[in-house]
Structure 1
Amino acid sequence: MNLFRAARAVAGSDGDSPVDWTAVGTAARAGTAPGELSLSAADRAGYADDVADARSRIRTASGIDFELPGSVEVQNRHHWIDANVATFRRLLAPLESGAMVVPSIARAANTGTMALTLGFLASNVLGQYDPTLLGDDDHRLYFVHPNVVGVADALEADRDRFRRWIAFHEVAHAAEFDAAPWLASHLESKMETAVSELTAGHLDRAALGDLDTTMTAVEGYAELVMDRAFDEEYADLREKLDARRREAGPISALVRRLLGFGRKRRQYERGKAFFDAVADERGVAGAGAVWERPENLPTDAELDDPSAWLRRVA
């Protein structure tokens, strides 16, 4: 970690755009320790076996015949930053295209904010299913090994069991997006609308609400199928992880709040409650009807009234 180099990259940001993305990557890497990535043969076999087992068990539990992403990678934190700088840049492209000439001090502030965001996320992300929104069709699955090991040790959890739990959750996302080829473009459209409206100086609450509802369905369904497919009880892992986040220092807590980590947890809980109710009525395969077409997504109101969704979709 080299904070001086990070600050120098931000201070030296240039160009005509509101954000110097090259400087973002440089600063985020400089301000973030990459973490150890010397995998043993057992580690490599463990990741491969967990992903393969998750695919098999989730296919059985969900009734969805899905394929794994074309790329499954075990990364350090710098690898994750490099993979996600391009994603953030594509996502925020409408802001850049609609921007006026940006003063250098504003560009440096924007660049520093994005570098801080990526660095914080790189230090906290355990696994990521990446449908490459706003990009190509080569979906990817990442595991940030130093974070998986570090969090497992901090929770005093068995490393292999914790890694397997993370693998099942991310492969559950792969099942959703493979079952619903329209889902990535649907999310992309909502994001583009929200960002474009911000460019025009408007906050499109409808687009943001639709995006939150869709992500609640995405996270809730993943929790459902992981719950039904995982071959061990995992409530203790969830409880320990939540307790660790609650005990985070004030700066970490503030950053988590600003980045919407609390909202993501609410998405898990609200979405899981919805799909548990649907699965109790129609089975897990019946809950998978949500991915048949965009119109089958639950509305915000239906998330709190699963019976209304069942009546409409049935």
Structure 2
Amino acid sequence: MNLLRSVRAVTEASGDGLIDWAAVTEAARAATDAGDLTLTADERSGYAADVRDARTRVREVAGVSFDLPDTIEVQHRHHWIDANIATFERIMGTLDIKGRTLAPGLARVANTGSMTVALAFLANNVLGQYDPLLLAEGDDRGAGDGSSDADDHALYFVHPNIQRVAEELDVSHARFRRWIAFHEVTHAAEFGAAPWLSDHLEARMERAVDALGEGSLDREAFRELDAAMTAVEGYAELLMDRAFDDEYADLREKVEARRRGRGPVSQLVRRLLGLGMKRRQYERGKAFFETVADARGVEGASVVWDRPENLPTNAELDTPEQWLDRVPE
């Protein structure tokens, strides 16, 4: 970790856009300890077994068919930064093109610094990630004819973070790793069961970002995006409850206690990154799907992924009975 190098990369940000992405990459890597990626044979085989077992169990419980990503990587923190920088650039690209400011140089440095802080913070805290490669183009999304020249989704595990958090929570590394694997595989199930979901999310994300680039706020796009992501997170929580092969209430409680005990700086950064909203999506979505699953079973809840019209609206997320009345079994 080299904070001086990180600061230098930010202050020397250049280019035509509002963010110098090459500088963000250099600065975020310099500000982040990569962590140890030395894996024993048991750990390496353990990751593979956890993912494989999660796929089998989730398929059984959910009654949906899906494949695992071709790319399944055990990473250190620098690997995670490299894998995600393109996603951040794609999402913010419209703002780079359309943004206007009276002091572009100062704005570029400030924005580059902000993105560096965000990436470095996430790299130190992300445990696992299912990445559907939203907004990817060209080779990143395959040939466009049903074949694939490259992976169209990926699954990452940030091993140093998993090791560190397991130690902080005083839980078995293997058990905690397995819990993370099951959670991320549930996301693979959602996107596998709903081939339309990536396009649905992309369209609303692009609308929201385009509006921001024009200096306005598309509230409807944000509402629809929030509703869809709440469904994504809630369904994953439902499957975790029904598919994980061990009781994990103790793990959940320890993770929640750790979250409540974070310092004010960490809480502020999480609020700015919208991670508090993500927690709300977990809780709100889980409550919706618990009600639906109690009424129709987990397979009955899975019809939400049959077509975009089956997604719950914002109102239905809080009153699942309305969704049950609207969407047939």
TM-score by length of 1: 0.99
Query: Who is 1:230 aligned against?
Result: 244
Is 2:75 the counterpart of 1:75?
yes
Query: Who is 2:149 aligned against?
Result: none
RMSD over aligned CA atoms reads 0.8
Mapped partners of 2:106, 2:98: distance in 1: 19
Which amino acid in 1 is paired with 2:33? A
> What are the within-5 Å matches in structure 2 for residues 100-139 of structure 1?
100=100, 103-135=104-136, 136-137=140-141, 138-139=152-153
Give CA-to-partner distance per residue, 1:218-250, whole Å, 9 cap, x none.
Answer: 000011111101001111111111111111111
Is 2:162 the counterpart of 1:161?
no
Give CA-to-partner distance per residue, 1:155-176, whole Å, 9 cap, x none.
Answer: 0011110000000000000000
- The runs of 5 or more residues in structure 2 that have no matched partner are 142-151
Count of residues paired in the alignment: 314
Structure 2 counterpart SS, 1:74: strand
Which amino acid in 1 is paired with 2:203? S
Mapped partners of 2:245, 2:194: distance in 1: 25
1:276 to 280, 290, 295: 290
Query: Who is 1:171 aligned against?
Result: 185
Deviation for aligned residue 1:209: 1.0
Mapped partners of 1:95, 1:177: distance in 2: 27
The list of structure 1 runs, each at least 4 consecutive aligned residues, that deviate by more than 3 angstroms after superposition, is none
Structure 2 counterpart SS, 1:92: helix
Mapped partners of 1:225, 1:159: distance in 2: 22
Give CA-to-partner distance per residue, 1:115-137, whole Å, 9 cap, x none.
Answer: 11000000000000000000133
Mapped partners of 2:215, 2:100: distance in 1: 13
Is 2:316 the counterpart of 1:302?
yes
Mapped partners of 2:315, 2:106: distance in 1: 44
Which amino acid in 2 is paired with 1:182? W
Give CA-to-partner distance per residue, 1:86-139, whole Å, 9 cap, x none.
Answer: 000001111111123652111010000001100000000000000000013320
Query: Who is 1:95 aligned against?
Result: 95
Percent of paired sites with the same residue: 64
- The runs of 5 or more residues in structure 1 that have no matched partner are none
Mapped partners of 2:107, 2:284: distance in 1: 38
**Do the aligned residues in 1 keep the contact of 2:99 with 2:214 (CA within 8 Å)?**
no
Which amino acid in 2 is paired with 1:9? A
Mapped partners of 2:33, 2:121: distance in 1: 11
